[in-house]
Amino acid sequence: MKKIKLAVLATLVLPVMAFTVYNSNCVNLPGTSYVYKNIPFPVTVVGNLGAMDNMPTTDSTTDPGATLGRVLFYDVSLSANKTISCGSCHQQKFSFSDTARFSTGYNGTKGTRNAMALMHARFFKDASFFWDERAATLEAQVLMPIQNPIEMGLTLDTLVARVAAKSIYPPLFNAAFGTTTITSDEISRALAQFVRSMNTFGSRWWQGVNSTPGPAAYTTFATFTAQENFGKSLFMDTARGNCQSCHTKNVFVSGAARSNGLDSIYTDLGVGGADGQRNKIGTFKVPSLMNIALTAPYMHDGRYQTLAQVVNFYSDSIHNTANLSPFLKTAAGLARRPHYSDSEKHALLAFLNTLTDTLITTDPRWSNPFCVLSAGREAGTANATNELIPVLSYAIYPNPSRTNDAINFRVIAGQNFEGNIRVYSVSGKLVYQTIHGFEIGNNLVGLPVTNLDPGIYILQLEKDGGILATGRIVKQ
Ligand code: HEC
Ligand code: HEC
């Protein structure tokens, strides 16, 4: 009796996980291509473009090039076990960043840096990408996560073979580059074109800039509240905020890496760790602040969960490291600690919130183009046999099970297929995986997950990056 009650409790208390299954061999693209090349820029951006733009003169963005890049960006075939794409860590709804402090790679392992938001990547002149600026161009950068052993884990040869094997690609390469011979160079150019196209200008900040004559930094915006205008003046005020000395040019980017004094001793050496220069230790790329309210957590290691924590840091906690930027020092050369009042802090936060632009987060131009097989909801637990779209139902038993029990996973499939069976802890750690071929009819697999600690685990049956079944295992 007691055990049954526990199982019922687990079913009631745990939230339902939503999931979408994509068909990775089918894309929905518009009949007439979306526009990526001629995205209208505000006048003040056009005026600054020369100083900011990293678009190569020899290889500018085209609509078919960025369209190909969009498909590649969301294709899970670009990861070793076909489970994640660029879009898994750079999610559109968060301005192409990740809500996790450290993103999970294809095999369940995490890195040590926070995934960067990609909006306005085009506007980093002296084009240097990553927190430590180790990638000299966007074209070089986009191939690095694919080859990174904990992110996507492919070699360039496998990448090319994978892409070449899929029937969706030859027409897209032909439209983009006039050839159906696929190379890693073209893959990198297309991905870079897509990333470089991520620019929209619909935030309240841009409404203010566009509707107010005069220099944006020093003019009161009629479209802002008094608090937002106060926050803006603090941000721009060299004596008080001085934020604009690094987060510049109306899109809040910088031409050079800086130290903002996060730590007195840096464990991650930043640019100095990548290029070996002592005067770069503890300096990091200055990220754009556009859409900053959507891209938590913050800083290279995602240490701050909220913007309020970031503002508190700039108010009270800057450290005087050897390479601290002069922009954050007092006249006496000490770390600046302006100790903002509560109303100053609230005003800075109100201003940072005016930088939110939800056009980029909802526009289909930058969305996942793969065909949706099914959008389902997670099945229940405890011996349940569940209807699953498109072809499957399954049962997991015994469930709940005791620590030393093996667990059976029975699938009723409408077709033969091969799938990855993966078991994760509730915190997302991969604890077991196997590949199994399923045949039509009943198909029973024993999972040797006998040594798991008591707790709740998630079982997923995955194929081509889609999740065909998700269930819970309760170990008592
Ligand atoms: C497993 C998660 C993960 C995946 C998958 C991933 N990224 Fe990233 N991305 C990151 C992290 C983390 C960083 C920061 C890493 C660092 O600075 O060392 C980053 C940084 C970047 C940057 C640098 C942005 C800047 O302003 O400097 C770009 C561009 C980028 N990724 C594009 C891509 C593309 C394109 C893909 C797919 C080919 C991809 N990423 C796949 C996690 C991921
Ligand atoms: C000396 C240059 C400099 C100044 C001045 C500066 N910042 Fe930054 N800012 C940086 C750097 C560099 C980073 C990234 C640091 C890291 O991750 O190690 C950063 C990160 C941030 C982030 C987090 C971005 C993200 O995507 O994680 C926010 C928010 C921010 N700054 C806001 C401000 C505000 C508000 C001010 C003014 C009070 C300000 N900054 C002043 C250089 C500066």
> Which of 161-165, 302-306, 415-419 shows the lowest per-residue confidence on average (mean pLDDT)?
415-419
> Which of 86-90, 175-179, 305-309, 464-468 is predicted least confidently?
464-468
Does ligand 1 lie within 6 Å of residue 141's CB atom?
yes
Tell me which residue has its CA closest to atom 3 in ligand 1.
89
More confident residue, 315 or 467: 315
Residue 23's pLDDT is what? 82
130 C-beta closer than 6 A to ligand 1: yes
pLDDT at residue 126, rounded to an integer: 72
What is the model's pLDDT at position 24?
85
Give tens-digit pLDDT for 282-320.
999 999 999 999 999 999 999 999 999 999 999 999 999
CA distances from 222 to 151, 204, 207, 210, 301 (A): 46, 11, 10, 11, 37
Specify whether the CB–CB gap between 261 and 314 falls below 8 A: no
Which among 299, 318, 355, 356 is the best mutation to test ligand 2's pocket, defined by most ligand atoms within 8 Å of the CB? Answer: 299
Task: Output the pLDDT for position 92.
Answer: 96
What separation in Å is there between the alpha carbon of 353 and the centre of ligand 2?
15
pLDDT tier at 382, thresholds 50, 70, 90: very low
Rounded to the nearest angstrom, the distance between the alpha carbon of 286 and the centre of ligand 2 is 6
Q: Look at residue 22 in the predicted model and tell me its pLDDT.
A: 78
What is the residue type of 290? Answer: M
pLDDT for the residue numbered 388 = 36
Q: Return the structure tokens found at 135.
A: 């990638």
**Residue 90 in contact with ligand 1 by CB distance below 6 A:** yes
Identify residue 221 by its one-letter amino acid code. F
What is the 134 CA–ligand 2 centroid distance (Å)? 19
Residue 258 CA: which ligand 2 atom is closest?
Answer: 12
pLDDT at 19 (0 to 100) = 53
Select the more confidently predicted residue: 372 or 243.
243
122 lines ligand 1 (CB under 6 A): no
Spatial separation of the C-alpha atoms in residues 431 and 452, rounded to whole Å = 8
Mean of pLDDT values over 126-130: 84
pLDDT in tens, 78-107: 999 888 999 999 999 999 999 999 999 988
- Is 253 exposed, middle or buried, given 0-12, 13-18 or 19+ CB atoms closer than 10 A? buried
Ligand 1 pocket residue status of 102, Cβ below 6 Å: no
Q: What is the pLDDT of residues 15-71, one digit of tens each?
A: 334 456 778 889 999 999 999 999 999 998 998 888 899 999 888 999 999 999 999
Mean per-residue pLDDT, 121-147:
93
Q: Report percent pLDDT > 70 for the chain.
A: 89
* pLDDT at residue 437, as a whole number: 77
Pocket lining: 118 vs ligand 1, CB cutoff 6 Å: yes
Distance 307 CA to ligand 1 centre (A): 22
Ligand 1 contact via 286 beta carbon (within 6 Å):
no
Q: What is residue 14's predicted lDDT score, i.e. its pLDDT?
A: 37
Q: Is the separation of the CB atoms in 207 and 359 below 8 Å?
A: no
Tell me which residues have their CB closer than 6 angstroms to ligand 2.
241-243, 245-247, 258, 260, 262, 284, 286-287, 289, 292, 295, 298-300, 307, 310, 314, 325, 327-328, 348
Q: How far apart are CA 84 and CA 81, in angstroms?
A: 8
Q: What is the 260 CA–ligand 2 centroid distance (Å)?
A: 7
CA distance to 79, 170, 207, 235, 465, per residue, from 106 (Å): 6, 26, 40, 40, 10
- Of residues 375 and 37, more confidence is placed in 37
Rounded distance from Cα 416 to ligand 2 centre (Å):
53
Predicted confidence (pLDDT) at residue 372 exceeds the cutoff of 90: no
What amino acid is encoded at 397 in this protein?
Answer: Y
CA dihedral sign, ordered 409, 413, 419, 420: negative
